[in-house]
Amino acid sequence: MTSRNWVKLFISTLIVGGLTTGIVGFTVRWGEFEHLFTDLDILGILSTLIWLIGVGFIFSIISQMGFFAYLTVHRFGIGIFRTVSLWNSIQLFLIAFVLFDLVYFRFQAFADKGESLSQYIWKAIFILAVGLIVAFIKAKQTNKAAFIPALFFMVVVTILEWVPVLRVNEESWLYLMLFPLMACNAYQLLILHKLNEKSMQERRLKSSKKPS
């Protein structure tokens, strides 16, 4: 990828994170911010929105760090295990393991007496469902081999990026961080091959213009 397209990816992902957090923030914490709208406190609304967008930028940077870390790990995985099929099998195992941990350990750590396990399962199901949809789109846009890596990134890496608020277990922050992370991760995953193709075209065009 050319530096110009990398900067484009960085800035556009920041925008996705900021806008998503702004929308989700007002939605999941409406009880805190409702009075700003009922009182028509324009300054309060703008300052809150700017704060939410700033938080979204932070989530976006976490997402981008996770994305480039996974690209590196993916290359190492293929190199270490020699075959893509073996690496894919390991990724599937890790997906199942991380989803199980997300449900079981959160239930053990935070469940009140008599609380149902289902309240902890649905978040894992939601992440898996979104991951499957994004992975299907990615595979359709590129090739079938991209399905499992895309699913791994959308499930495992998203959950790892989500760990800071999982430890706190404050409901509104869980949603406030999860949705922007998933939006940024999905965006980067689905735009990467397009930017790579554009970078290759730009390099070819630049080469063709060089004097022989």
- Over the stretch 194-211, which tens digit does the pLDDT of each residue have? 888 887 877 777 776 665
Q: Report the range out of 3-7, 75-79, 181-185 with the highest average pLDDT.
A: 181-185
| Cα atoms in the 13 Å half-sphere on the side-chain side of 125 | 6
pTM: 0.89
Residue 24 pLDDT level (bands cut at 50, 70, 90): very high
Least confident range from 54-68, 81-95, 173-187: namely: 81-95
Residue 201: predicted pLDDT: 79
- pLDDT at residue 143 greater than cutoff 70: yes
Q: In angstroms, rounded to a whole number, what is the distance separating the alpha carbons of residues 1 and 80? A: 24
What pLDDT, on the 0 to 100 scale, is given for residue 28? 87
In angstroms, the CA 6 to CA 61 distance is 13
Instruction: Report in angstroms the alpha-carbon separations of 25 from 14, 17, 133, 179.
Output: 16, 12, 24, 10
**Residue pair 17/57 in contact by the 8 Å Cβ criterion:** yes
Residue 95 pLDDT class (50, 70, 90 cuts): very high
Per-residue confidence at 45, pLDDT binned at 50, 70, 90?
Answer: confident
Separation between Cα atoms, residue 71 and residue 52, nearest integer Å:
29
